Amino acid sequence: MSELKDMSKDELISKREEYLKTYNNYKEMGLKLDMSRGKPGAKQLDISNELLNGPRDFHTSGNYDVRNYGVLEGLSETREIFSQIFNLPSKNIIIGGNSALNLIYDTFARVYLFGALGSTPWCKLPKVKILCPVPGYDRHFSICEEFGAEMISVPLKGDGPDMDMVEKLAAEDEAVKGIICVPLYSNPTGEIYSDDVIDRLVKMKTAAEDFRIFWDNAYAIHHIYKENTIANIFEYAEKYNTQDRIYMFFSTSKVTFPGSGVAIIAASDNNIKEIMKRMSIQTIGYDKVTQLSFAKFFKNAENVKNHMKKHAAILKPKFDMVNEILDANFEDNKMCQWLKPDGGYFVTVYTKEGCAREIVRLAKEAGVVLTEAGATHPYHLNPKDDCFRLAPTYPYLEELKTAMEVISACIKLATVNKALETM
């Protein structure tokens, strides 16, 4: 097929009729499919069902009764598993509740209300700016927006954010207080931060003494095609004595059950001390029954990693399907391009400029709900309106196939409409 840009108006109109017909056929099917959020599918949940039987025994290996109050930092045997996964000392890991997002929010709340290691509380400052690699995770942006932080978009370049830009902004403006990012299988592009990027993040001069890296390592072990790793940011920071700059987050929401697992924050000795002090005012402790279930179910990091291979086996056909349908529809034209991540939960589709929102709207009209197109950018504003996120994990394979056909039809229709409109 030739490209739309080479077609005459009549050819385009005839294409539009063809595409519209296909689209309308899908629309008439009355579909109801949701590809908006990164949710595991039912088969993925099933592999952890044994957890629901709970810990038949409620004592830790140290014979501690988890049914009562105490152990604010989390059970040592549970922390030990994360220590193995992340190659960090247990003492630098706190288990906090069921949600990494909640821990990120709470960490924002703490620096806003109380400052970081003695710095001025961010809520007392006239302006706080946070660097946001884009395309990025909408819930990160929502937290920044909620706290009134000004978000500065920094483009991702294939191996992490544009570090020249990050370094310049961090060095020159003391209102720039941090960066929030997903360093492995970045949501939604699947980006993998390079060693060089990670080195520069901990090495760079920052005008703010309390600059913080909100390191949302959400997909640290969520491989699909290939088991990539990133550098241990804490190890790198040791070289420059900037360990206090880092807050790392992770949860088991996509290891066991979303919202019913455990979440961790990892940080330097100084930060852990401060977090524990403030956390001891916030709560008597998090749910240790859940922590013990996790520890008894997995026992060690090796078993967690093997468990993740089962997830990968379920997810691979879904990501294959996305590629297959997009290939079949767009291989020989330039209506869109898409990324092929090695892991994580998303596929990012780049469209012709000004088409993404319309594609998402058309898909919704046809019963396929996608994440809002602007959601990949701060304030929901992607100036080029040229990308959207696919979350292919939740639907069954057959549903996903249909959804991808619908989306392909939407891409075609929106693109030809745009071509006609701008003729």
Cβ 332 to its own copies shortest distance, Å:
38
**CA separation for the pair 374, 358 (Å, rounded):** 11
Q: Based on CB atoms, which residue is closest to its own copies, 42 or 313?
A: 42
Q: Based on CB atoms, which residue is closest to its own copies, 193 or 286?
A: 286
Q: Based on CB atoms, which residue is closest to its own copies, 51 or 315?
A: 51
Q: Based on CB atoms, which residue is closest to its own copies, 39 or 79?
A: 39
Cβ 239 to its own copies shortest distance, Å:
35
Cβ 418 to its own copies shortest distance, Å:
33
Cβ 65 to its own copies shortest distance, Å:
7
Note the residues at the interface with its own copies (CB under 8 A). 37, 39-40, 42, 45, 48-49, 51-56, 58, 65-70, 97-99, 101-102, 105-106, 109, 112-114, 121, 123-124, 139, 142-143, 146-147, 253, 257-260, 278, 281-290
Cβ 404 to its own copies shortest distance, Å:
22
Q: Based on CB atoms, which residue is closest to its own copies, 125 or 420?
A: 125
Q: Based on CB atoms, which residue is closest to its own copies, 75 or 322?
A: 75
> HEC string of the chain?
CCCHHHCCHHHHHHHHHHHHHHHHHHHHCCCCEEECCCCCCHHHHHCCHHHHHCCCCCECCCCCECCCCCCCCCCHHHHHHHHHHHCCCHHHEEECCCCHHHHHHHHHHHHHHHCCCCCCCHHHCCCCEEEEEECCCHHHHHHHHHCCCEEEEEEECCCCECHHHHHHHHHHCCCEEEEEECCECCCCCCCECCHHHHHHHHHCCCCCCCCEEEEECCCCCCECCCCCCCCCHHHHHHHHCCHHHEEEEEECCCCCCCCCCCEEEEECHHHHHHHHHHHHHHCCCCCHHHHHHHHHHHCCHHHHHHHHHHHHHHHHHHHHHHHHHHHHHHCCCCCEEECCCCECCCEEEEECCCCHHHHHHHHHHCCEEECCHHHHCHHHCCCCCCEEEECCCCCCHHHHHHHHHHHHHHHHHHHHHHHHHCC
Cβ 395 to its own copies shortest distance, Å:
13
Phi, then psi, of 385 in degrees rounded to 5: 45, 55
Q: What angle do CA 52, 57, 61 make, to 5 degrees?
A: 115
Cβ 265 to its own copies shortest distance, Å:
14
Cβ 345 to its own copies shortest distance, Å:
12
135: nearest Cα among 321, 323, 320, 371: 371
Cβ 142 to its own copies shortest distance, Å:
5
Cβ 174 to its own copies shortest distance, Å:
20
Q: Based on CB atoms, which residue is closest to its own copies, 212 or 288?
A: 288
Q: Based on CB atoms, which residue is closest to its own copies, 253 or 402?
A: 253
Q: Based on CB atoms, which residue is closest to its own copies, 32 or 124?
A: 124
Q: Based on CB atoms, which residue is closest to its own copies, 71 or 409?
A: 71
